[in-house]
C-alpha cells in the first residue's frame, strides 16, 4: 500500500532519486528517464480522457491502461538484479499484454481499412490520443535502449506492453474519429 504524507523530502535536492528497490540514481539516469516518460504518457492519456466521455467503453479501457502504466513504472523502478529485495516487486504480466491486444481487436473490428498514413488530428480525443501515442513510442525507445544497456534488465512483458500500447492508442485515435471516417490522411507530396 502506498502512503504519501509528505510530498517533499529534500532527498533529491542533489540530483538523485531512489529506485523502489533502494539504490539512488541520478535523475538523468536512463532508467529514471524511462519511467518518467511512462508517467508522461499516462498524463497525456489523462488529457485525452477529458474528450472520451462520449465513448464509455474506450474510456474504461484508457483508465485500465493508466493503472497499468503505474504498474509499468513500478516494474521499471525495481530492476531485477538477482538480489533478494525482501518483497515481491510489481511486474507487468502477460495477461496485461493480452488484455490490451483484445481491446485493440475490439476497437479495430469496425474501422475502415487504411489507404494512407493518418495525420494526427480530427477530433480533440483523436488528437490527444495521437499525442499520447507518440509519447508512448518515445518511452518504448528508451525502454528498448535500457534493455540493451550492460548491467540493466527489463522484463519481456514490460517491453511487449509498451509496444502494444502505441498500437492501442493509434487504433483508439481512429475509433474516436468517427470510426476512422473522419481520419485526416497523408497525401504524399501534396504541397510541392
First to last CA, the chain: 58
Q: What is the CATH number of the domain that holds 142?
A: 1.20.1200.10
The rounded distance, in Å, linking the Cα atoms of 12 and 25 is 10
- Give the structural domain span for 108: 24-78+89-185
Q: Is residue 6 part of a domain?
A: no
The pLDDT of residue 86: 82
Q: Is residue 125 part of a domain?
A: yes
- List beta partners, residue 185: 118
Q: Is residue 64 part of a domain?
A: yes
The rounded distance, in Å, linking the Cα atoms of 86 and 98 is 29
Q: Is residue 14 part of a domain?
A: no
The pLDDT of residue 55: 97
The pLDDT of residue 4: 61
The pLDDT of residue 11: 61
Whether the pLDDT of residue 122 is over 90: the answer is: yes
How confident is the prediction for the chain on average, in pLDDT?
91
Smallest Cα–Cα separation from 69: which of 90, 85, 98? Answer: 90
Q: Is residue 16 part of a domain?
A: no
Query: Total domain count for the chain?
Result: 1
19-67 tens-digit pLDDT: 677 677 667 799 999 999 999 999 999 999 999 999 999 999 999 999 9
The pLDDT of residue 178: 93
Q: Is residue 156 part of a domain?
A: yes
Q: Is residue 180 part of a domain?
A: yes
Q: Is residue 177 part of a domain?
A: yes
Residue 158 banded pLDDT, cuts 50, 70, 90: very high
**Top-confidence residue, 113 or 27:** 113
Radius of gyration of the chain from its Cα atoms, rounded to whole angstroms? 18
Amino acid at each position: 500500500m502506498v502512503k504519501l504524507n509528505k510530498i517533499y523530502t529534500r532527498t533529491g535536492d542533489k540530483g538523485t532519486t531512489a529506485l523502489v528497490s533502494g539504490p539512488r540514481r541520478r535523475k538523468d539516469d536512463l532508467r529514471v528517464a524511462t519511467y518518467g516518460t511512462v508517467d508522461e504518457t499516462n498524463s497525456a492519456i489523462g488529457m485525452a480522457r477529458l474528450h472520451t466521455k462520449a465513448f464509455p467503453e474506450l474510456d474504461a479501457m484508457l483508465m485500465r491502461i493508466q493503472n497499468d502504466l503505474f504498474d509499468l513504472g513500478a516494474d521499471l523502478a525495481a530492476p531485477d538484479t538477482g538480489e533478494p529485495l525482501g518483497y515481491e516487486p510489481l511486474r507487468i504480466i502477460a495477461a496485461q499484454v493480452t488484455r490490451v491486444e483484445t481491446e485493440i481487436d475490439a476497437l479495430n473490428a469496425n474501422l475502415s481499412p487504411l489507404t494512407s498514413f493518418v495525420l494526427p488530428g480530427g477530433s480533440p480525443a483523436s488528437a490527444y490520443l495521437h499525442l499520447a501515442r507518440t509519447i508512448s513510442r518515445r518511452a518504448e525507445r528508451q525502454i528498448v535502449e535500457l534493455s540493451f544497456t550492460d548491467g540493466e534488465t527489463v522484463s519481456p512483458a514490460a517491453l511487449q506492453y509498451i509496444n502494444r500500447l502505441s498500437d492501442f492508442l493509434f487504433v483508439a485515435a481512429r475509433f474516436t474519429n468517427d470510426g476512422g471516417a473522419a481520419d485526416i490522411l497523408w497525401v504524399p507530396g501534396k504541397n510541392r
